[in-house]
């Protein structure tokens, strides 16, 4: 199965420090590339979508 994550191409173009707003069913989310510090701070692991 080669289905892409919605907006995958656009999200992969984001560079460190860039943010986008993603609106899902009327709710806004800030989306930015995570740094190692972000991953440690949140402490919930992460998913690898390779």
Does pTM top 0.75 for this prediction? no
Tokens of 7: 């907006």
Domain spans in the chain, listed from the N-terminal domain onward: 8-42
- The torsion defined by the Cα of 48, 20, 42 and 8, in degrees rounded to 10, comes to -10
Helices and strands: H and E segment counts in the chain:
2, 2
* Model confidence pLDDT, tens digit, residues 6-31: 889 999 999 999 999 999 999 999 99
* Local confidence band at 45 (pLDDT 50, 70, 90 cut-offs): low
* Local confidence band at 1 (pLDDT 50, 70, 90 cut-offs): low
């Amino acid at each position: 199965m080669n289905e892409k994550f919605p907006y995958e191409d656009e999200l992969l173009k984001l560079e460190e420090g860039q943010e986008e707003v993603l609106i899902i069913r009327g709710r806004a989310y800030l989306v930015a590339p995570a740094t190692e510090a972000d991953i440690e701070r949140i402490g919930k692991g992460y998913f690898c979508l390779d």
